[in-house]
Structure 1
């Protein structure tokens, strides 16, 4: 199981060979490109896009062009997320959640799933050579099953995909409902990626995932003193040293049993 360290610092790609997870938008204004020293994957930035705008403002062709530039200048990535549509209540209905404002798409879960599948098909059509991963979306086990059916009807055999993103479980990962969703999808023989998984979620269902990513290290660091000797900043919320130490703690805290998360990439 590969655990990606999520960061907005694209230059970290030349500083470590630890698996990294970065948003495509962080490369949009790149002048100097850093060649990746280790594995990495690309996030489309869908959560923030839908949170702030309630729609995708970047056309699929623009996204594909960005992915091609990243591949060419940084090196081959493991996979890239599509421009999927999360099915969390905040994304769909809008409002203030946890102090954050969501504009809301005001669409149905089914419509979000339809748009997710259609976008994946369009991206694959525009760039069949790129490693773009499908993502399944839903808000309960039956809904996720419906999403699998949409892919099946479109001629996509998810069991043959190297990785399948599991969307809209980030805030459910340590709950019974979240575990049920992960278990149900894993039962279909899918190699799942868990977006934004923290240690509690990994302890509970990490053995069912092929990979996961997390940026939780940054929020942890924001409320703690800087590491000893780090006198140039008041906290380590943007610090690679803290991030790597945090990742080591996460990986080493999990039982080293078959199928569980391993420190080695």
Structure 2
């Protein structure tokens, strides 16, 4: 069986298999070498993610497969960073708990699969004006349920946890804000990604996977390429 890469996160991960999504792009990129498996859950924060880890990654998936997955991306924080006094307060997770939860998620994955590469991704920046145009819940306050300042604090915490644990991290919050007009170029509703925003995530994840030794040049394909098949004796390529 092919090796796997799991994508674990909230709606930004769940939506990543849509047209032009970063998960779909990863699937296309690794189409002959790796199965990319989606585990995205819209609206989830790290507190909820911890509660469902055994269901998302049950012990049974280790039985009869090709071994440990190559990598798991962990992409939470956008919901944790909802403000506790706004309309999405039920999704809020305090900053110190967010850090603890990230450590616990990584610990679970590394205990299950010691050689698997775990990659953290920070929450993206927030376009507060965009969030007011596309509220998810009844918002009578007229204030955005997320702010870019709060998202930045959670992004810094995510980076700190990654450094503490010695694992790679995509600093999406900083990366996107290096570009002009990032609010409309990368975010469709102030939070979720446009095609260009998805491209940024895809490129950053590929760069880190390549640095970790997971590239098309290093990963074997599971069946012969057409160029390896002899037109005179095609079946020879499939002999074991």
* TM-score for the superposition, normalised by structure 2: 0.43
Higher relative contact order (CA 8 A, sep 6+): 2
Query: Normalized against structure 1, the TM-score is what?
Result: 0.40
